[in-house]
Amino acid sequence: MQNITTTLKKLFYLWRRSQVPVKQPIKISRIDNLIIFLVCILISIISSYKLLLVSPLYIADIFSWFLTFTEILISSGVLILVSKKENPTISSRQIFLIITLLLAVQVTKLVLASTISPLSMIIPPALIISQGMGSITALAWVSIASFSWPDPAVAINNNLFFILLACSLVVSLLGGRIRSRAQLLQLSIFVPLGSFLSQWILIDQDKISLINEQKFVLANRDIFSDSLFLAMVMLFTILFIPIFESIFGLLTKARLLELADKEKPLIRRLSLEAPGTFEHTLLICGLAEEATRMIGGDIDLIKTGALYHDVGKLHAPNWFIENQDGSKNPHDELDDPIKSAEILQAHVDEGLKFARKNRLPKLIANFIPEHQGTLKMGYFFQKAKEKNIDVNEYYFRYKGPIPQSKETAILMLADGCEAALRAMNIDASDEEAFETISKIIYSRQKDGQLDDSNLSKGEIFLIKRSFLNVWKRIRHRRIQYPTSKNNTFS
């Protein structure tokens, strides 16, 4: 009985968590909304107008047209809602991409339905959408694109329809997870191969329906050339994905991993010109990755975001303690806490400039201001108070915004704990380390820094535990192993 109550409580908790938006939605301007709505109307007209081209035209035909028109319009609306739910920070450009692809497919069906296989029309756009906006959006797109055929005279073979759905499902599900261009290439070979084999097995046996109804294969029911054409279109799509990434601001897994390459010029510069910041960044990557894995967040996103979060320090590396190497602290010579606070804020402003110059995606650039939020620069504020008790706290707070996602919030917490964990005595117990982590996280919580991040209490606890695990690893690495004088073993 107790087990059932616990399970019910857990289910209720999970349900409640699922009702919370993960990220703050981005507002879309009225003009963009209007353009998107007009494109949806256009899609509905193109998908249904042929129903009116019958003579004589009866009321029943008009009613049937109206039903189809409304159905497509509502479906397009649902597609946009699904994409917004899966990507709360989706931009109008990306919504525009989804519906434009739907429009393009409907037009292609009208013009080329008798010469091009539906596989080649639907699978490549599904690949782009799954890569840029996730599997669920791609699946929603595929279902609308597969079910609505603008020309009622064109019948689609049942077996071919089944193969189309199966291939689209594979592409949508795998496309959202694929982490390298090489895997994309494999997909563009294996999906057409699979479609060829399944068409050969399922359709070729049913020759009558193939000849009479199946009008989509290229070169008159030649399933080989049909699959070859699909492979070519998919390869062509993969070639163009980087262009889609930059035009529509898509952030694919492959792009994230490319950005996380430590040989990227900006990261290389960080390691050479600000080695202390680079070391700090690497440790933060470890802390943030572990915590994100614990709460089930986007690991690739946080790893890349962590790598770029402090690139702004490149504008004046020696003004930051981790790069001072025990030499003079220029802040002491400056002896002006307000100016020092301005220099600290500059690492955020300059970081954003670096992000723009290097065309970093917005989701990565968000880590730069949000990891500092509106935190108080306590040290300089105290120094200023020693000089003038009435000094305004405003000058000693970062400009924000506070973290808007779980990932940027985790990075803020990792950033806060990194120095404390690194400085911690090697003999410190797990309890002491956990207490230090808890204190730092609690101070940020109390300061309201996590208010917009949607981190639950349970997740914050998991983050603390994961930071402790990383600390244990650091401690383990620092333990000196006893070695014999004549250490000859390797």
Query: For binding to Fe ion (CB under 5 A), which residues are involved?
Result: 310, 415
In the complex, the smallest distance separating the C-beta of residue 463 from Fe ion, rounded to whole angstroms, is 17
Q: How far apart are CA 412 and CA 415, in angstroms?
A: 5
Listing DSSP states for 360-412 in one string gives --HHHHTHHHHTTTT-B-HHHHHHHHHH-TT--GGGGB---PPP-SHHHHHHH
Contact 175, 138 (CB under 8 A): yes
Instruction: Name the one residue in this structure whose structure tokens are 């020092």.
Output: 340
For 38, other C-beta atoms within 10 Å of its C-beta total 11
Comparison of 241 and 377: residue with beta carbon closer to Fe ion: 377
DSSP letters for 108-162: HHHHHTTTS-HHHHHHHHHHHHHHHH-HHHHHHHHHHHHH--S-TT----HHHHH
For the chain, what is the radius of gyration of the CA atoms? 28
Minimum CB separation of residue 318 from Fe ion in Å reads 16
Q: Which tokens go with 6?
A: 């616990």
Place of tokens 């930059």: 246
Residues β-bridged to residue 377: none
Shorter beta-carbon distance to Fe ion: residue 226 or 415 = 415
Say if residues 281 and 313 touch (Cβ distance below 8 Å).
Answer: no
Compute the least distance from the CB of residue 396 to Fe ion, in Å.
15
CB of 309 to Fe ion, least distance (A): 6
Exposed e or buried b per residue across 352-366, where buried means at least 16 C-beta atoms within 10 angstroms of its C-beta: bebbeeeebbebbbb
Cβ atoms of 368 and 351 within 8 Å: the answer is yes
Cβ at position 36, least distance to Fe ion in Å: 37
Distance in Å, CB of 81 to Fe ion, minimum? 36
255 versus 309: smaller Cβ distance to Fe ion: 309
The CA–CA distances, whole Å, from 272 to 24, 175, 301, 312, 314 equal: 36, 36, 24, 14, 10
Q: How far is the CB of 26 from Fe ion (least distance, A)?
A: 24
Q: Which is nearer to Fe ion, 255 or 397 (CB)?
A: 397
User: Of 126 and 270, which has the nearer Cβ to Fe ion?
Assistant: 270
Q: List beta partners, residue 397.
A: 376
Torsion of CA 247, 249, 251, 255, to 10 degrees: 50
Shortest reach from residue 420's CB to Fe ion, in Å = 13
Half-sphere exposure at residue 240, Cβ-oriented, CA atoms within 13 angstroms: 14
Closer of 407 and 415 to Fe ion (Cβ): 415
Sign of torsion over alpha carbons 423, 418, 313, 400: negative
Q: Which is nearer to Fe ion, 68 or 372 (CB)?
A: 372
Q: Which is nearer to Fe ion, 310 or 459 (CB)?
A: 310
Q: Measured from the CB of residue 181, what is the shortest distance to Fe ion in angstroms?
A: 31
Nearer to Fe ion, 300 or 415 (CB): 415
Q: Which tokens go with 434?
A: 């956990």
Tokens, residue 64: 């049937």
Nearest approach in angstroms of CB 466 to Fe ion is 18
Q: How far apart are the C-alpha atoms of 242 and 254, rounded to whole Å? A: 10
Q: How far is the CB of 399 from Fe ion (least distance, A)?
A: 13
Helix (H, G, I), strand (E, B) or coil at 416: helix
Q: Which is nearer to Fe ion, 22 or 363 (CB)?
A: 363
**Toward Fe ion, which CB reaches closer, 248 or 278?**
278
Q: CB nearer to Fe ion: give 86 or 290.
A: 290
Hey, how many other C-beta atoms are within 10 angstroms of the C-beta on 424?
A: 17
Structure tokens, 472: 């244990």
Q: How far is the CB of 375 from Fe ion (least distance, A)?
A: 9
* Cβ at position 114, least distance to Fe ion in Å: 60
Strand ranges, E, within 262-319: none
Residue 70 sits at φ, ψ, to 5 deg, of -65, -40
Q: Which is nearer to Fe ion, 234 or 285 (CB)?
A: 285
